[in-house]
Amino acid sequence: MIVSFTLPTRNRVFQLSNILNSIYNTCFNKDNFEVLLAVDNDDLETINFVTNFIDNHPNTKMFLFERQYYKGMHVYQNELIKHASGEFIWTINDDTEFQSNNWDLILQEYSNQFRVINPLTPSLYHYVRNTEIPNYCWVTFPIVPKKWIDITGRLSTNAASDSWVSEIIYQAKVSYVNEDRIIIEHYRFDETGLNNDQTYIDRSNDIFDVRSDFNSQYQINERIKDIELIKNYLEKENTPYN
């Protein structure tokens, strides 16, 4: 199996149906992936939809959680990856859609490589391929090797896992590739004006915890741990840097 998708979702059955169908419809071989869904145990509409979907899509699996809210997004992700069997872990959102075909064959080209793959999200103004920071990689929906998870024991300790992975790529000098053949559309609330999206509305009600601040000392210290672990691995394996 090439890739395990980790996909937390809440109260977005229409969007969830869209992303799931786009994954299945644009792959080359349905045996090349699995989809691991995190669903809140009070979200009965989503539970019902996924239960029916799984009947015809056995490589999609659902895991129920006590609600973690947006700031606990990493909790969903870190638990889902414990069940992942793919060579790569690919965390995506329930408000995305695949725009390109045969992405699984493209990923297969990177088999047995310790590289992060950065798909193209062309409509996002806040993510660009080139930045003012030399060698910095903004990853939107990072595709990380399973070995990354084996080394660190997690994807991140912050809801902003994309920024987390970006920072570690830069600090640990992890090899990455901007893979423009894999194209994903992201229908962000603040960019599409979908102001009736309950998931985004609920974010304002999240309980604030200073430790959830990406730049808090706690989060910085946790990233340093991952950076050192991955740097040590790269040095030991003599893995070529970017």
Interval 168-221: pLDDT, tens: 999 999 999 999 999 999 887 655 545 555 555 565 555 555 457 899 999 999
Q: CA end-to-end span of the chain, whole Å?
A: 26
Report all structural domains of the chain as residue ranges with CATH numbers, in order of start: 3-237 (3.90.550.10)
Average pLDDT over residues 57-78: 93
Q: How far is it, in rounded angstroms, from Cα 50 to Cα 44?
A: 10
- Confidence category of residue 241, pLDDT binned at 50, 70, 90: very low
Contact 58, 33 (CB under 8 A): no
Number of CB atoms found within 10 A of residue 188's CB: 18
Q: Is the pTM of this model over 0.85?
A: yes
* CA 236 from centroid of its chain's CA atoms: 27
Contact 157, 217 (CB under 8 A): no
Q: What is the mean pLDDT of the chain?
A: 89
**What six digits make up the tokens of 160?**
């902003």
The per-residue pLDDT for 242 is 43
Rounded-to-10 torsion of CA 20, 122, 87, 62 = -20
**What six digits make up the tokens of 155?**
């994807």
Helix (H) or strand (E) holding 157: none
The per-residue pLDDT for 39 is 97
Average pLDDT over residues 119-126: 78
The per-residue pLDDT for 71 is 85
Contacts of 225 (CB under 8 A, 6+ apart): 152
Of 114, 86, 93, the C-alpha closest to 232 is 114
Burial class (CB in 10 A: 0-12, 13-18, 19+), 74: buried
**DSSP conformation letters of 11-78:** S-HHHHHHHHHHHHHH-S-GGGEEEEEEEETT-HHHHHHHHHHHHH-TTEEEEEE----GGGHHHHHH
In sign, the C-alpha dihedral spanning 42, 53, 38, 119 is negative
Of 80, 16, 18, the C-alpha closest to 45 is 16
- Looking at the DSSP assignment, which residues form a beta bridge with residue 176? 116
